[in-house]
Chain A
Amino acid sequence: MTGKNNQNYNEEYLNYVKEIAPKTKHLKTLWHAFWVGGVICLIGQFIRYSFMYWFNLYGDQLAGATSMVLIFLASFLTGIGVYDRIGKYAGGGSIVPITGFANSIVSPAMEFKSEGYIYGLAAKMFVIAGPIIVFGVIGSVCTGLIYYILNLFSLI
């Protein structure tokens, strides 16, 4: 049962709402997302090169260390209440990089701390990031299977 079956359902009104409702300014928001997201990646790249030059890290170690620094920075900015302001401006630009993932875990953890460390903070930590992890894992398993099958028939 949804509203469609109810006696007052009013298609004409819904169309009118759609007509006068303010639209998201796509060009503007896309530009914001583009440059902020780009700057975040630039910072990531800078951190990556720094680790290469000064700490002689390579491969998995390098990727891990770079992610750790970015995650720390994003969590810290979330904690002092700055990241949500960046997010309000940049939208997808600050959600898509790994910093957005950190923000989506830290922000509910802070919010639900008031219900205690176990049932609040720990239990609610993955409220937003949970689906990302689930579908990320499913996606990677599927990709792996396809890769394996294609290999079996030596297609790649």
Chain B
Amino acid sequence: MDKRKGTLFFKNKPSIFKTFSIVGPKEKQSKLGKYYDMALDDDKFDESTYEKAECKMLSTAVSKVIKKSNLKKDEIDLIISGDLLNQIISANFMARDFDVPFLGVYSACSTITESLILGASFINSNNFNNVVCAAGSHYATAERQYRYPLELGAIRPPQSQWTATGAGAYLLKPFIKGYPIITSATIGKVVDFGVLDANNMGAAMAPAAASTLKNHFLATNTTPKDYDLILTGDLGALGSRLVKHLMDKSGYDIFNHVDSGELIYNLDEEDFQGGSGAGCGTVVMASYIYPKLLNGEFKRVLFSATGALLSTVSSQQGESIPGISHAVCLECNL
């Protein structure tokens, strides 16, 4: 088998020009709270429903990143976006506001890296000049779609995670000196080790993350040492231990691994294993890691967002939870 299968190398160096992130009140109070571009005090964002709020968050992120880049809406060639809701309504309805060509993608919580891979490919092929990649999630909408009503007095099991309320957008451009570039990417495979517990998404996604990281190291001839940071999407504390274990078994010591889900909240009783959701990795990357790439603190970061590809129907029918993880390698040479 070709060991470079699924790995892309972007010779024309698509750059991430600007990012924008917006988070909910709970994320604002956490230790990363001060880094986000915008934080809401009201998680309904002055809308009548949470679904509308999620859509508005995505659309705010996209319009603000366009504004930040000193561009106008009609200069944007393509928006690629996705979210967690059925029929990705937040992303689709967000695109309604823009009158810009739009690709809706779904890859659960790894939606952002899937969008970045697609966006980088379009820029790399010289087809487009300005591409916006965005993803978001909302605690209240995810909770209602996947679990129970918010006011139901039920206990969360200790292995569960907390869906992050947040949306982030990245504006991709052809090579610009001094900005982080996407040099390579690995498209993940759907991996299912047979985890049945829908509350334990870290365990369901860890094998996918391990598989993608391994494939990326093989294809690019690198080892974890070559990266300043390996950032996964939303494995949480338990999932992080599992991915370390799996990588150890394959002979890679990922000592520089950090998980967005662990970073996004001050881990306490209520959030248990940490954050999850399409917005989780998106905002941590956009507002915490990206600036560190920009100021030279990190030279090379591997960002592998992870997604659990379950639905309520599949879980109720007794299906196990497949996971997927797409990785992008970001580099910044000042």
A interface with B by C-beta (< 8 Å) = 1-4, 6, 8-11, 13-14, 16-17, 20-24, 29, 78-79, 81, 83-88, 90-91, 94-95, 100, 103-104, 106-108, 110-112, 114, 128
Question: A9 to chain B: which residues have CB within 8 Å?
Answer: 192-194, 320
Top 7 A-B residue pairs of the complex, sorted by shortest distance between their CB atoms: A87-B153, A3-B320, A111-B149, A107-B151, A3-B194, A107-B149, A10-B193
Q: How far, in whole Å, are A87 and B194 apart by their CA atoms in the complex?
A: 31
Determine if B194 and A14 form an interchain contact, defined as CB atoms under 8 angstroms apart: yes
Given the known interface contacts A8-B192, A10-B207, A87-B154, the answer about A16 and B245 at a Cβ–Cβ threshold of 8 Å is yes
Determine if A114 and B241 form an interchain contact, defined as CB atoms under 8 angstroms apart: no
- Interface status of B328 (Cβ within 8 A of chain A): no
Q: How far, in whole Å, are A1 and B238 apart by their CA atoms in the complex?
A: 27
- Interface status of B313 (Cβ within 8 A of chain A): no
Determine if B194 and A10 form an interchain contact, defined as CB atoms under 8 angstroms apart: yes
- The 8 A CB mask of B54-88 against A (1 = contact, 0 = none) is 00000000000000000000000000000000000
Q: How far, in whole Å, are A44 and B157 apart by their CA atoms in the complex?
A: 29
Question: B270 to chain A: which residues have CB within 8 Å?
Answer: 88
Number of A-B contacts (CB under 8 A): 118
Determine if A83 and B49 form an interchain contact, defined as CB atoms under 8 angstroms apart: no
Instruction: Tell me the chain B residues, 281-331 only, with Cβ under 8 Å from chain A.
Output: 318-322
Q: Is the interface of B mostly helix, strand, loop or mixed?
A: loop
- The 8 A CB mask of B34-64 against A (1 = contact, 0 = none) is 0000000000000011110000000000000
Q: How far, in whole Å, are A10 and B318 apart by their CA atoms in the complex?
A: 17
Question: B194 to chain A: which residues have CB within 8 Å?
Answer: 3-4, 6, 8-11, 13-14
- Interface status of B144 (Cβ within 8 A of chain A): yes
Known: A87-B153, A103-B153. 9 other contacts (CB 8 A): A2-B319, A3-B319, A3-B320, A21-B159, A24-B157, A29-B155, A84-B152, A88-B155, A91-B155
Q: How many residues of B contact A (CB 8 A)?
A: 38
Q: How far, in whole Å, are A87 and B322 apart by their CA atoms in the complex?
A: 31
- Interface status of B158 (Cβ within 8 A of chain A): yes
Determine if A111 and B155 form an interchain contact, defined as CB atoms under 8 angstroms apart: no
Given the known interface contacts A1-B319, A17-B200, the answer about A88 and B153 at a Cβ–Cβ threshold of 8 Å is yes
Given the known interface contacts A13-B207, A17-B242, A24-B157, the answer about A84 and B150 at a Cβ–Cβ threshold of 8 Å is yes
Determine if B238 and A22 form an interchain contact, defined as CB atoms under 8 angstroms apart: yes
In the complex, which of the residues A1, A10, A11, A111 contacts B151, with contact meaning CB atoms closer than 8 Å?
A: A111
Determine if B242 and A16 form an interchain contact, defined as CB atoms under 8 angstroms apart: yes
Determine if B242 and A106 form an interchain contact, defined as CB atoms under 8 angstroms apart: no
Question: B272 to chain A: which residues have CB within 8 Å?
Answer: 22
Q: How far is the CB of A29 from chain B (nearest CB, A)?
A: 7
